[in-house]
Amino acid sequence: MDHVSPYSLAFMSTATISTQRPPAAAPASNPGNGSRPTGNPGAGGQTRAPRIMIVDDVEVNILTVQGYLKKVGYRDFVTTSNPHDALKLIHEANPDVVLLDIQMPEISGLDILRVMGADPVLQHLPVLVLTADQDPVTKQRALDLGANDFLQKPIDPHDLVPRVRNALVLKAHHDQLSRQATWLEQQVKARTAALLASQQQLILSLARAAEHRDNDTANHVIRVGRYAGVIARKMGYMTKRIPMLELAAQLHDVGKIGIPDAILLKPGALEPDEYELMKNHCTFGRKIIAPISGKDLEVLRTHATLGNQILKDPCSPLLKLAAKIAQCHHERWDGKGYPLGLAGNDIPVEARIVSIADVYDALSSKRPYKEPFPREKCFDIIREGRGTQFDPQLVDAFFSCSEEIIQIQLELMDD
């Protein structure tokens, strides 16, 4: 406990103090008319008077400091003589500065500083230490724990007022920067959401262009993307990448754009040479989606300013993933697929996932060359492909979430 000085007691009746104006962040009104100085914005951005919290186990010391500050226009105070209540009051009252006694029973000012420094919400709150302790070690410990300034007891109002003012200006600047950072973060989120929406629409439009070539509906690509997301989630694929996988999967057959109508729309079985040409849609898809090479990119960038703006990032993770899926979704687990003849885990896992999703949707949908198969027949074909056409673990994942697959299928049925 810090001592109560004769100077402090004298204030209660006869003290005369400076008439210095309060800080710019909290300019004083005429103290005599009962109005409060303005200060930091509160909830909802409304301007409120600066709020000053005083923690001292000696009540008369609180009254002394409070009296000095009232003389220059400050009116909003939160005080406590019980150090046990200090941290709770700080959280509840949200003060702009704390005047904190160091030597208090059971819980010292240093203890309170230590907790505040570890709290992300409180660590930027200015703290002015009030102490009669002349020990430089105590002062250093307080500074190390985050104290902003010191006021030696007995408190001199000529020191108190400008130091409180400076602390409030510091808090006002910090709050302004925090509000600006929050606003900028909100703007970035809004712009990012808008860009993502545009990206999703462009991908769907490109996927539709490919699907309409062979009379499929746009729902096919959406269903395949949704199925792929469900299977990926079930087998433990990285959660944060699932939305990108669902988008990339929609472009799995974009290479059909390069297949002649006579082959793509043929109602019957394909001839061997037609089938060989049809298999090229995987390679066409990769070429359409894959990020542009450095040489081609430079040509486009020098061709037009618009090209420069559109192609700033030639290494889009989404396009890389989509190109990988487009090229490899017809590979087989046993190595008998196309176009590269990859086998097992050499096939990118995303392509293995989309392979199952695409085959199931193709089996269960109407195509130019067939009617939709019954659901159980589709399931039987998928089971038969376990370990030959499809990754066995992914087939198991498919059936473990088959109810969700069916629900998506019902939601996105073709007209």
Percentage helix, strand, coil for the chain under 3-state DSSP, each rounded to 5: 60, 5, 35
Cα dihedral sign, 80-82-84-85: negative
* Active-site option among 88, 256, 336, 366: 256
Task: Mark whether 312 is an active-site residue.
Answer: no
Dihedral pair phi/psi, residue 129, rounded to 5°: -90, 130
Distance CA 70, CA 157 (A): 11
Q: Are 408 and 226 in contact (CB under 8 A)?
A: yes
The CB density around residue 387, as the number of other CB atoms within 10 Å, is 12
Q: Which residues contact 286 (CB under 8 A, 6 or more apart)?
A: 255, 323, 324, 326, 327
Could you tell me the maximum CA-CA distance found in the chain, to the nearest angstrom? 110
The H or E element containing residue 168 is helix 157-213
Residue ranges of alpha helices (H) inside 25-134 are 59-71, 86-93, 109-118
51-55, strands of its sheet edge to edge: 76-80, 51-55, 97-101, 127-131, 149-152
CA angle 250, 252, 253 (to 5 degrees): 110
Distance CA 67, CA 50 (A): 16
Residues in the chain: 415
CB contact burial 5-20 (16+ within 10 A = b; e otherwise): beebeebeeeeebeee
Q: Which two tokens stand for residue 101?
A: 């006694």
DSSP string, 194-246: HHHHHHHHHHHHHHHHHHHHTT--HHHHHHHHHHHHHHHHHTT--GGGHHHHH
What is the set of active-site residues? 256
